Structure 1
């Protein structure tokens, strides 16, 4: 088992990154251009043969070697079955490499543009692509990746937040009162809804979907996991209730060209949304000692942030008790 470096990337200098690439016989001709990523360190470069690559250095002490390899195998299976995704490049029968405390992987750079959230016309194609990913994902199971469930995405984050020193003292009691109520309600709803879990992208927001010749490509499978299919769909919904209904209908019209969807899972949207909010808060809390996080999220330690979070959690408790979203008529 490899020893991993400090999770804050303090030793991941540009020189170390270049040495790591040289260890797999890849030699950048350009400099390393940092891309937007908080959890990992991701850079774009051009090599001596004028080929554009992306290198990803995984955050140490986050995923295990077995979990990273399982992610890569999933990507390879998807790519071999015709899914348009960013799959790690294989060199000497390996996709995951290790250098001085860091696991890293190499990807081809996609000449593509970001997906626009308001592009309703592309949602059918995104639905088709997700249906294909899920059809293939349902054919096997992850054994090492963290599952998406109440324990990992809600109970554990709430437990960790109880030890946080960044929550204003005046808000601790009302905050944890609402968190306890949310945990109780979401646990009940998950217990009452038996759903099939499959291998998912896991973090399928619009920034992780690129358009190349108006065809969707999926990137960043860093959070792939076992979970309900709706997890990869609800994150793409935004706006008013009618707008969300139309978006969902378009997504599912395409999705069901490739794979059956259990519409009973629509009742999991608000529980999953709530779990994502709380998990995200704990993620920032957990990473605060990384110097990049106070710079990127300075509002995290302000009273105003926690007051607004408390209100949004109260709103979620109300939403959890409302009827779930339905499809537009005629879909």
Structure 2
């Protein structure tokens, strides 16, 4: 992959790309927080600014991006509040300009949900239940599945081979081997759970809370996965707090979709996989100059020591009894 995939994506290129679709920019442009892709707010003459998202080259195929868009349109058809890409008159939502692929979105405002508020938990559960009601109606064909191989085994192999300091390599290899064995056991205890289309990255930063309603953005990581993948990131604090939170979330969820309690076995397994995958994601992007600049704390002896400590804590969490539904 090009070590500087966005090198030629200058402010002028961004504005020219937006104007190629018939808009007239007022020249104002502001980069928004995004590292995997590049996202900008672009001012439009006498109109509300638009959000332009430029996709990282070689990450997704056109078919995979269009499949993500189609999922969002299905959700909008069911009157769910998701920020879907804008379409031209011919129905197109994925565009090209000077070798860059991009989409446009309406600008939406809001604040992060309060994950310790029972009412927010309940409303989040209801909304995810509605999203999954649509998500389970048919599968993705082109987008990937969240699995132990890609998120766990491949991530650990890459970090061990390319990044972990030699002084920590034996400890890392031993610990990740133990973790992967525990994760595999958790999936086996859960059994043959259903894989459905999910948002895939339901952290608080991808949810805008406005008018007592959660509005979901950024489906870039949408894939096939167990339903609980879109639930566990709402759980914070100690075990007692999480036990209360899961009750609120699933009570709301079950108003629109049936949550399979066996998936509770996967919460800590999926949390661990995300931690391993996140470290490998930064490592795989380390040749992109934006990553050393924005993740300056990464790839230091201190970082890897703390990463090992977090993984050891996850090993303990995987030994704990699963949360229960009330």
User: 1:162 — aligned with what?
Assistant: 160
**Secondary structure in 2 matching 1:300:** coil
Distance 1:239 1:108 in 2: 34
User: 1:77 — aligned with what?
Assistant: 74
Once the two structures are TM-superposed, the CA of residue 54 in structure 1 deviates from its matched residue by 0.9
CA deviation map 1:242-273 (0-9, x unaligned): 11111111111111111110011001001101
CA deviation map 1:162-199 (0-9, x unaligned): 321x3211001110111111112212332342200100
Alignment of 1:85-100 (within 5 A): 85-91=82-88, 92-100=90-98
Distance 1:161 1:111 in 2: 37
Say whether 1:325 aligns with 2:312. Answer: no
Once the two structures are TM-superposed, the CA of residue 51 in structure 1 deviates from its matched residue by 2.0
Unaligned runs of 5+ in 2: none
Q: Is the 8 A contact 2:86 2:104 kept in 1?
A: yes
Distance 2:119 2:309 in 1: 34
**Secondary structure in 2 matching 1:222:** coil
Q: Is the 8 A contact 2:207 2:214 kept in 1?
A: yes
Structure 2 CA distance for partners of 1:225 and 1:288, relative to 1, 3 Å: same
Once the two structures are TM-superposed, the CA of residue 116 in structure 1 deviates from its matched residue by 2.9
User: 2:38 — aligned with what?
Assistant: 41
> Which one of 110, 115, 133 corresponds to residue 117 of structure 1?
115
Worse-matched range after superposition: 54-63 or 315-324: 315-324
Q: Is the 8 A contact 2:264 2:323 kept in 1?
A: yes
User: 1:212 — aligned with what?
Assistant: 210
Distance 1:323 1:124 in 2: 24
Give the root-mean-square deviation of aligned CA atoms.
1.5
How many residues align structurally?
324
Q: Is the 8 A contact 1:8 1:291 kept in 2?
A: no
Distance 2:123 2:313 in 1: 33
User: 1:65 — aligned with what?
Assistant: 62
User: 1:308 — aligned with what?
Assistant: 306
CA deviation map 1:47-89 (0-9, x unaligned): 1231231111111111111110100010111111111100000
Say whether 1:180 aligns with 2:206. Answer: no
TM-score when normalising by structure 2 = 0.95
Once the two structures are TM-superposed, the CA of residue 296 in structure 1 deviates from its matched residue by 1.5
Distance 2:277 2:110 in 1: 30
Q: Is the 8 A contact 2:3 2:288 kept in 1?
A: no
CA deviation map 1:218-264 (0-9, x unaligned): 00000000000001000111111111111111111111111110011
Distance 1:70 1:306 in 2: 36
Say whether 1:153 aligns with 2:139. Answer: no
Distance 1:5 1:304 in 2: 29
Once the two structures are TM-superposed, the CA of residue 30 in structure 1 deviates from its matched residue by 4.6
Structure 2 CA distance for partners of 1:45 and 1:85, relative to 1, 3 Å: same
**Secondary structure in 1 matching 2:186:** helix
**Secondary structure in 1 matching 2:298:** helix
User: 2:246 — aligned with what?
Assistant: 248
**Secondary structure in 1 matching 2:63:** helix
Once the two structures are TM-superposed, the CA of residue 111 in structure 1 deviates from its matched residue by 2.8
Q: Is the 8 A contact 2:4 2:289 kept in 1?
A: no
Once the two structures are TM-superposed, the CA of residue 120 in structure 1 deviates from its matched residue by 3.0
Distance 1:297 1:43 in 2: 20
Distance 1:79 1:262 in 2: 25
Say whether 1:31 aligns with 2:36. Answer: no
Structure 2 CA distance for partners of 1:30 and 1:18, relative to 1, 3 Å: closer
Once the two structures are TM-superposed, the CA of residue 31 in structure 1 deviates from its matched residue by 1.1
Once the two structures are TM-superposed, the CA of residue 6 in structure 1 deviates from its matched residue by 6.0
Q: Is the 8 A contact 1:186 1:271 kept in 2?
A: yes
Once the two structures are TM-superposed, the CA of residue 326 in structure 1 deviates from its matched residue by 1.9
Once the two structures are TM-superposed, the CA of residue 5 in structure 1 deviates from its matched residue by 6.9
Alignment of 1:254-265 (within 5 A): 254-265=252-263
